[in-house]
Amino acid sequence: MPRQTAKIYHQRLSRDEWLGKALEVIANEGGGVLTIDELVQRLGVSRGSFYWHFKSRADFVRQLVGYWSELFTRGVAQETNESEGSAKERLLLLMERIVSDQLTRYDIAIRAWASHNQIAARGVKKVDEFRLSYVRSLFEEMGFKGGELDMRTRTFVVFYSLEPGLFVDISRKDQLKQLELRHALLTKP
């Protein structure tokens, strides 16, 4: 029987297709397989497709972390902030979006990868700073100060960044039920 080889198509993936597929690779197999050669082989495209969108692997890493940041953090924060309602209501909306859209599904994989990649680590640090700042602003608007403000902010950000990897056996329905209880706990003076 003849040996099968991967076909290389002469197509170009869009930048977002590259980045979306790379997030899936990181989530399923870790960041160690994010070499250019490994990615083009897995995606069935030529190296030219990669270089059409990215100057280098370092540029790719920066854009990948930026893509993750925009899609799974900054975009939802902007939408939540633009919604009508009190800070308490916007926090609940943020919590609902995080759970229903699975916005932290790549967090653990990205963080594991960033522990071995300095470019990714810098990007993750910026995302963490943004998340802390945004959530802090909601709790401040609710009137929390000092140690209470800091505890609520960090509890929220750490919990939602790590929950998908720690509690994988909880159904989405149960997550949404717990969300309401968690919201009450975090916002009660």
Whole-angstrom CA distances from 76 to 3, 11, 49, 102, 115 are: 47, 32, 30, 12, 25
Distance CA 79, CA 85 (A): 12
| Residue 29 pLDDT > 70 | yes
137's CB contacts (< 8 A; 6+ apart) are 87
* Contact (CB, 8 A) for 31 and 109: yes
More confident site: 73 or 166: 73
Distance CA 113, CA 44 (A): 23
Distance CA 172, CA 155 (A): 21
* High-pLDDT (> 70) share of the chain, %: 91
137-161 mean pLDDT? 96
47-65 mean pLDDT? 92
The amino acid that residue 116 corresponds to is H
DSSP state of 117: -
Q: Tell me, what's the pLDDT at 4?
A: 41
Kindly provide the residue ranges of all beta strands, DSSP E only, lying in 46-94, ordered along the sequence.
none
DSSP state of 73: I
Distance CA 181, CA 28 (A): 31
Backbone CA torsion sign across 10, 15, 21, 25: positive
* High-pLDDT (> 90) share of the chain, %: 57
Mean per-residue pLDDT over the chain, rounded: 88
| Residue 49 pLDDT > 80 | yes
Determine the topology of domain 59-187 in CATH. Tetracycline Repressor; domain 2 (1.10.357)
Q: How confident is the model at residue 127 (pLDDT cuts 50, 70, 90)?
A: very high
| Residue 7 pLDDT > 50 | no
More confident site: 168 or 61: 61
